[in-house]
Structure 1
């Protein structure tokens, strides 16, 4: 195991890129330095290093060997009852930490097992976590020549590769690999591809390859790219995978390739999110159709629909919230996309109402609700429609500068990931899908509210699911104005009591003076 880890260090990006290109949120720098003490030493020795005040701390992300809870990036807040899942408050905290925090990264690392063992330093290698959720390989050959004969478009296909189409020069532990091929599904594991892994008689380089990819490459089997909830499961798991793969100072480098595992040309309103992870053009299966490709370093990241995964199938224990992993992801993305935090000019709370331009789940009396908010001088109110007509980075800017974010059940509520820590997400009505955004808000650590009194809302009709039958998501709603204002008032009261909000006001209003 140690040998493989050393190989990955040697086989990663060419070398540390320099302090001027570190490109991490400032509060993440101490954790980075402690993960890579050789970089900290370099900073300590160089007069021009701008991060000397970040050195010599005990801070750690939470998954490193010997990392103490008191020194970790964050610990969950578990004020509520666990409802019988565990026996103690400590067990409750640790359970949440393993389910949806840096403890999940720690567990992936502990589970890593060598699947194909190198004979020598220059050989191929492959190691994976349980169920082949996360894998990484060195000097891996993938044969895409058979794709020339595939006439159908490839998406969510489990037969992209055939026997002998993927392999390397290493000693394959075949039974160990097959034992982990128990989650065979397009977006749950890398079993559909890696069950075909085979030993080759020599390292796949030179004339054996039509293309040699020198830079680290992430294979990406992505969920629905038109839906923010599902697509950001891709981006979140990619970020989490960078932590699992953090064996080299360039672990967060953007000088890597992304190969999307489908032949459809990628299109999404959220394309700019890729700029967080790569500076190169996205690849897909068409890029290498008909070619044998040899990858120096290949990462098979965590997938969006894993069983007990992040965050689509995350089973969260009751009574806990505030994952440091989700907070770090939010900060990382906002930093790299350069989303500004606006200064406040007064103490009015910034209320954003997300309006839908779809057939269903519209607010029938939306204008009335907005007018009622605007009548309150304590609120600065903004109505927005987040669609392809508004750049995604602009959407993030609005969200990140909202104190109360209101919207009916829908993928746009995934924006809660990028709200300030003190904010409230008000899911106006959950349309009988109670756990989706409530759990996501718990993971992010922002306050969640939703409509409780069904006697004070009117459903346009019973709802008509496309496959037949009544369904609460396929109709529209009208809301009692008085009850709406009461709930927004509760959100406002909560925000004003948050110390983080008070500090935010003090900093901005003091600067104005």
Structure 2
């Protein structure tokens, strides 16, 4: 071999192994979700593959998909519907039962929302505004959107579950508005069913609000605006958190989709308080906002998302008409993984096989268990249970009489 040939080969090898340095701090996901992330964003996977310092190489070469992607094969999806129960009386076939469950309570719900996405206000140039929504305005997202909060300074009553926060033109952008489509989709008008009460007031603006300096405040980071259910109740409030997580998937179009360096605005003027408020740390690393934050100002959002809501018709999960005989939703599992990971909650193995039963005793006029003592006594007779009685006097609604 000639000397110049040897030098040429060495140079080629040196060029091939030059590392491409990348910043992976934004990829903060449960380990079991990483292969789905990199399959969703092939460019990120390729960057990691060519970077000797990338810590995620073990998650790059497995076919995996969440389940809502157009080319996702069932064997590669995050979850496969599990319906061991009977389907008779609900649908005609076992296959229809599986498909129905997947669409009602799994990633199939996300798939259908993504399919429904339609443009309500179309941009013509890069710096223009844009607005997209799913059917009935259950989920919307916009770019370079203006919201006028100036009238809120004159409102003395607290705002919660109000449908008149915005009036016509208080929300808009510089884009070509499809007014007919906007009116058609504003049909689920209720505080927590859709964004119709707010988005129906969207109008096309004569000027580019950010470029032309029409904003008192410009929000650079992505912002999620949420209308939330009752915060004192874990069932109701986790409707909010689950739908926020599902919305991350509906909105999944950029590698930073799961990044927590964003803002969350709660669509009410009450200062947010909840026993479950730490859960928001799974979705944002910044302080929460509410309608008091920008009262009296015109605010422009470079990227804004109006997530799925807690009480949508046939929504997740307050009004979910879940088909009989099915279980193990992958969407709910992924939501649990996401929250546990970001809150740093680790699994502690049980020291015994006993089932822990905590009975919540409510000494109030309503929602009491009338035969509470008998129920606790009966439970304690089972040697496989460890029974504890706990008292909470905050909620009032119904009385129950359980049979044991």
Does the alignment reach a TM-score above 0.5? yes
Distance verdict in 2 for CA 1:143–1:75, change over 3 Å: same
Cα deviation, 1:15-58, whole Å, max 9, x if unaligned, reads x9943442211111111110111111122122222221111111
Cα deviation, 1:429-485, whole Å, max 9, x if unaligned, reads xxxxxxxxxxxxxxxxxxxxxxxxxxxxxxxxxxxx97xxxxxx31565x65xxxxx
- Structure 1 stretches of 4+ with a deviation exceeding 3 A read 384-389
**Partner in structure 1 of residue 35 of structure 2:** 30
Is there any run of 5+ residues in structure 1 with no aligned partner, and where?
Answer: 1-15, 390-409, 411-464, 467-472, 481-513
**Partner in structure 2 of residue 417 of structure 1:** none
Q: Secondary structure at the match of 2:361?
A: coil
Q: Secondary structure at the match of 2:265?
A: strand
CA distance in 2, matches of 1:266, 1:154: 12
CA distance in 2, matches of 1:337, 1:387: 25
Distance verdict in 2 for CA 1:476–1:80, change over 3 Å: closer
Q: Which moved more, 1:164-173 or 1:45-54?
A: 45-54
Match of 1:364 among 359, 362, 373: 373
Q: Secondary structure at the match of 2:119?
A: strand
**Partner in structure 2 of residue 54 of structure 1:** 59
User: Once the 2 structures are TM-superposed, how far is the Cα of residue 382 of structure 1 from its aligned partner?
Assistant: 5.7
Larger proportion of helix: 1
Is there any run of 5+ residues in structure 2 with no aligned partner, and where?
Answer: 1-20
Q: Does 1:176 align with 2:101?
A: no
Q: Does 1:76 align with 2:85?
A: no
Q: Which has the higher contact order (CA 8 A, sep 6+)?
A: 2
User: Once the 2 structures are TM-superposed, how far is the Cα of residue 252 of structure 1 from its aligned partner?
Assistant: 0.9
Q: Secondary structure at the match of 2:381?
A: helix
Cα deviation, 1:308-347, whole Å, max 9, x if unaligned, reads 10001111112211111011101111111111211344x5
User: Once the 2 structures are TM-superposed, how far is the Cα of residue 251 of structure 1 from its aligned partner?
Assistant: 0.6
**Partner in structure 1 of residue 4 of structure 2:** none
Q: Which moved more, 1:213-222 or 1:52-61?
A: 52-61
Q: How does 1:424-443 map to 2 (within 5 A)?
A: none
Match of 2:280 among 267, 274, 278: 274
Cα deviation, 1:351-375, whole Å, max 9, x if unaligned, reads 23243344243422365346434xx
CA distance in 2, matches of 1:356, 1:24: 38
CA distance in 2, matches of 1:277, 1:21: 13
Match of 2:48 among 43, 47, 50: 43
Q: Does 1:318 align with 2:324?
A: yes
Match of 2:217 among 211, 214, 217: 211
**Partner in structure 2 of residue 152 of structure 1:** 157
Q: Does 1:86 align with 2:91?
A: yes
Q: How does 1:235-384 map to 2 (within 5 A)?
A: 235-345=241-351, 348-359=353-364, 360-362=367-369, 363-365=372-374, 368-369=377-378, 371-373=380-382, 376=383, 381=386, 383=388
CA distance in 1, matches of 2:187, 2:80: 32
CA distance in 2, matches of 1:211, 1:383: 52
Q: Does 1:106 align with 2:106?
A: no
User: Once the 2 structures are TM-superposed, how far is the Cα of residue 204 of structure 1 from its aligned partner?
Assistant: 0.9
Whether the 8 Å CA contact 1:218–1:300 is kept in 2: the answer is yes
RMSD of Structure 2 on Structure 1 (CA): 2.2
TM-score (norm 1): 0.70
Match of 2:399 among 465, 474, 478: 474
CA distance in 1, matches of 2:392, 2:246: 27
User: Once the 2 structures are TM-superposed, how far is the Cα of residue 95 of structure 1 from its aligned partner?
Assistant: 0.9
Q: Secondary structure at the match of 1:140?
A: strand
Distance verdict in 2 for CA 1:80–1:344, change over 3 Å: closer
Whether the 8 Å CA contact 2:171–2:199 is kept in 1: the answer is yes
User: Once the 2 structures are TM-superposed, how far is the Cα of residue 75 of structure 1 from its aligned partner?
Assistant: 1.2
Whether the 8 Å CA contact 2:105–2:329 is kept in 1: the answer is yes
Q: What is the count of residue pairs matched by the alignment?
A: 379
Larger Rg: 2
Whether the 8 Å CA contact 2:360–2:392 is kept in 1: the answer is no
CA distance in 2, matches of 1:179, 1:321: 35
CA distance in 1, matches of 2:174, 2:399: 54
CA distance in 1, matches of 2:391, 2:245: 24
Whether the 8 Å CA contact 2:362–2:393 is kept in 1: the answer is no
CA distance in 2, matches of 1:17, 1:388: 53
TM-score (norm 2): 0.89
CA distance in 2, matches of 1:287, 1:354: 40
CA distance in 1, matches of 2:285, 2:378: 43
**Partner in structure 1 of residue 17 of structure 2:** none
Whether the 8 Å CA contact 1:133–1:303 is kept in 2: the answer is yes
